[in-house]
Amino acid sequence: QVQLQESGPGLVKPSETLSLTCDVSGFSISSGYFWNWIRQPPGKGLEWIGSLYHSGTTYYNPSLKSRVTISADTSKNQISLRLSSVTAADTAVYYCARSPSTVTPFDSWGQGTLVTVSS
Amino acid sequence: DIVMTQSPDSLAVSLGERATINCKASQTVLYGSNNKNYLGWYQQKPGQPPKLLIYWASTRESGVPDRFSGSGSGTDFTLTISSLQAEDVAVYYCQQYYSTPGTFGQGTKVEIK
């Protein structure tokens, strides 16, 4: 059974870059599936940030595309998220999630990690 | 982007009674070539990630109790909890995965009356 676990700094300063990792266990990210980042501001709804296919192909939400990079380290079975030039509006719980394709739902989620943007 | 709008924003239902949540898409999420609705429902309990309940608008994920059912087609969808249990208290989200970016409804909070 696949398990996902996000980690990274809980506090990031405005204008800096947010960096998170998602450790995947129970499934090799090289075997297929899409690996997604989704965020949820406190008390608010869900926003898809982007996804990465095991081949390295990436898809990003146009609203964030200029600031987002998603990558993979297959040797560590890990997915990474970088979001540059953050503001308070980027404060959210960040989830990694798996989906079979870009046109399927998210079938497995990590527990999420809260990132606060504040000086 | 396809805008997903849920109604109501919240509802309170007595234990054992039916709860109904609606979701409307700003454009169709029915793919004509395979007649599938690219619509899912998630349950999110406090402090937990969302959990997939229903996909293709009406197919229950493995292990999901059969009191949860999904219906609808095109732009209008419904999630029904036939007999509300205490453990069903949560926020429910619909999501379209017909086009990128996949978008979610704003959520419906279900409470016990």
Q: What is the pLDDT of residues A17-38, one digit of tens each?
A: 999 999 999 999 998 899 999 9
Q: By percentage, how much of chain B surpasses pLDDT 90?
A: 99
Q: What is the pLDDT of residue A46?
A: 97
Q: What is the pLDDT of residue A32?
A: 84
Confidence of residue B91 (pLDDT cuts 50, 70, 90): very high
Q: What residues form DSSP beta bridges with A98?
A: A35, A108
Q: What is the DSSP secondary structure assignment for residue A107, as one 8-state letter?
A: -
Q: What is the pLDDT of residue A54?
A: 80
Strands B108-112 and B10-13: parallel
Distance from CA of A23 to the nearest CA of B (A): 16
C-alpha span between B110 and B107 (Å, rounded): 10
Q: What is the pLDDT of residue A57?
A: 92
b/e sequence A26-58, b meaning 16+ C-beta within 10 Å: ebebeeebbbbbbbbeeeebbbbbbbbbeeeeb
Whose structure tokens read 């086009």? B99
Strands A92-99 and A47-53: unpaired
Q: By percentage, how much of chain B surpasses pLDDT 70?
A: 100
Nearest to A82 by CA among A24, A8, A20, A23: A20
Contact B52 A106 (CB under 8 A): yes
Give yes or no for a contact between B88 and B17, defined as CB atoms under 8 angstroms apart.
Answer: no
Q: How far is CA A27 from the centre of its chain?
A: 17
Contacts of A106 in chain B (CB under 8 A): 40, 42, 50, 52, 95
**B45-76 pLDDT tens trace:** 999 999 999 999 999 999 999 999 999 999 99
Contact B55 A105 (CB under 8 A): yes
Compare CB distances from A46 to B50, B51, B100 and report the shortest one's residue.
Answer: B50
**A74-109 pLDDT tens trace:** 999 999 999 999 999 999 999 999 999 888 999 999
Q: Which residues contact B62 (CB under 8 A, 6 or more apart)?
A: none
**A46-67 pLDDT tens trace:** 999 999 998 889 999 999 999 9
Count of other CB atoms within 10 angstroms of residue B31: 12
C-alpha span between B36 and B32 (Å, rounded): 7
Strands B90-96 and B39-44: antiparallel
Q: What is the pLDDT of residue A43?
A: 92
